[in-house]
């Protein structure tokens, strides 16, 4: 009797949670207008003559760097613009592409990378070198796989100024092309966004902090006040650590839902997805095994367990047919919510049936990240082993 009550209670809680998500997606509640920069969003005013430096780290980015730099040089900006790219010891032709582009446009400055000193990770050190050549009043750090929209920087800087902030970040348009990108990337993006509501992240009195290293904006004064990349030199999550420092130092900061600012194809297949998130997820949870296990347990209970129960009951015969029908109804609601979420964000909603597969991979990523880093094996990224020493 007690078990039956608990089972129905758990099912009811899950159903209400998913119904709320479904309703919020239908009414667009996850996109508050003040913190949303869509392609059609009218830009806020940006002072004429304001200088902007777009800073890009590039290590073996021959497939992406020309598209990234060309888009950055072509943005609509009302003042001086400069693009600074650090060629971080690339071996794939990235340097040749940058040399050709720099010869054609003097606004492009190419900086040579160097081995990071003790205590520095590669990306923070590369950006530290690059920013020394940046002359702008505002610094916009973007990754080499980012394509800025023509109005993107104007939208981002204008809204940041309008909200009297001096640091900002954006969640851009995630491009997915292969099967595994569509199955995993969209689901893990939903997990991260769902766990970091913009209302909390943008509340200076709330400790929850999130930023996206694909797009980090600073007024030069704010960047210097936060200590620059030297202050987070050993961080694999330099973006999140900057956001934490901004809140701790009371530097006005905003995170925007920003598909109108940029688009990015983050990873190109299963191997990159696996390696990329392996280096990120355990650090994002503070290197805590307990936090990882809690997150995995909660995600399993709220996303995969209903599918497991339906499969079990259909295979073995359900002892309580009404409960089986309720489970099937919950699974249907979850798949419908996934489909609506995909459609709202411009993805293939017809892949809703891959939801349990995608979430199973996401849970595996959390566990693999904790195991690789805690064991000292680390994660491999861009030919470098990162997070190879277990953290206390």
Residue-wise pLDDT tens digits, 49-76: 999 999 999 999 999 999 999 999 999 9
Mean of pLDDT values over 117-142: 94
State the pTM of this model.
0.89
Mean of pLDDT values over 375-384: 76
- Residue 238 pLDDT > 70: yes
pLDDT value at residue 318: 60
- Residue 9 pLDDT > 80: yes
Position with higher pLDDT, 24 vs 181? 181
Supply the mean pLDDT for the chain. Answer: 91
- Residue 346 pLDDT > 60: yes
Position with higher pLDDT, 78 vs 314? 78
Percentage with pLDDT > 70 across the chain: 96
Mean of pLDDT values over 294-318: 89
What are the C-alpha distances in Å from 244 to residues 102, 253, 333, 388? 35, 10, 36, 24
pLDDT value at residue 1: 65
- Residue 152 pLDDT > 90: yes
pLDDT value at residue 324: 82
| 334: Cβ contacts below 8 Å, ≥ 6 apart | 18, 303, 306, 355
pLDDT value at residue 363: 97
- Residue 253 pLDDT > 70: yes
The confidence band for 313, taking pLDDT boundaries of 50, 70 and 90, is confident
Mean of pLDDT values over 297-321: 85
pLDDT value at residue 387: 67
Go through the domains of the chain in sequence order and give each one's CATH number.
7-29+284-386 (no CATH), 37-172+212-268 (3.90.550.10)
- Residue 385 pLDDT > 80: no
- Residue 80 pLDDT > 80: yes
- Residue 251 pLDDT > 80: yes
- Residue 170 pLDDT > 80: yes
Mean of pLDDT values over 37-47: 93
């Amino acid at each position: 009797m007690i078990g039956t009550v608990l089972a129905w209670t758990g099912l009811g809680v899950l159903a209400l949670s998913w119904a709320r998500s479904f309703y919020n997606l239908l009414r667009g509640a996850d996109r508050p207008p003040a913190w949303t920069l869509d392609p059609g969003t009218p830009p806020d005013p940006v002072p004429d003559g304001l200088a902007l430096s777009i800073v890009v780290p590039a290590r073996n980015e021959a497939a992406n760097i020309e598209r990234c730099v060309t888009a950055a040089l072509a943005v609509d900006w009302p003042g001086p613009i400069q693009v600074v790219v650090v060629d971080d010891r690339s071996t794939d032709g990235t340097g040749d592409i940058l040399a050709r582009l720099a010869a054609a446009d003097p606004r492009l400055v190419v900086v040579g990378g160097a081995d990071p000193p003790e205590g520095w990770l590669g990306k923070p050190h590369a950006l530290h070198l690059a920013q020394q050549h940046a002359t702008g009043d505002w610094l916009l750090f973007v990754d080499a796989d980012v394509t800025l929209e023509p109005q993107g920087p104007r939208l981002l800087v204008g809204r940041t100024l309008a909200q009297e902030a001096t640091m900002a970040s954006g969640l851009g348009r995630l491009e997915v092309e292969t099967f595994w990108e569509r199955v995993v990337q969209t689901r893990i993006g939903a997990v991260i966004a769902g766990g970091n509501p913009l209302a909390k992240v943008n509340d200076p009195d709330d400790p929850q902090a999130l930023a996206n290293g694909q797009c980090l904006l600073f007024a030069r004064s704010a960047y210097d006040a936060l200590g620059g990349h030297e202050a987070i030199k050993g961080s694999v999550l330099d973006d999140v650590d900057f956001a934490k420092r901004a809140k701790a130092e009371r530097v006005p900061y905003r995170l925007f839902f920003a598909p109108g600012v940029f688009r990015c194809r983050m990873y190109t297949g299963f191997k990159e997805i696996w390696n990329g998130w392996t280096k990120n997820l355990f650090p994002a949870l503070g290197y805590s095994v307990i936090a990882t296990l809690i997150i995995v347990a909660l995600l399993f209970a709220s996303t995969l367990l209903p599918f497991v129960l339906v499969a079990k009951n259909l295979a073995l015969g359900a002892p309580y047919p009404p409960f089986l029908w309720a489970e099937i109804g919950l699974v249907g609601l979850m798949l419908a919510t996934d489909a609506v979420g995909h459609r709202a964000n411009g993805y293939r909603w017809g892949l809703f049936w891959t939801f349990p597969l995608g979430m199973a991979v996401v849970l595996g990523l959390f566990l693999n990240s904790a195991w690789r880093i805690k064991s000292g094996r680390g994660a491999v990224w861009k030919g470098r082993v990162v997070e190879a020493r277990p953290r206390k």
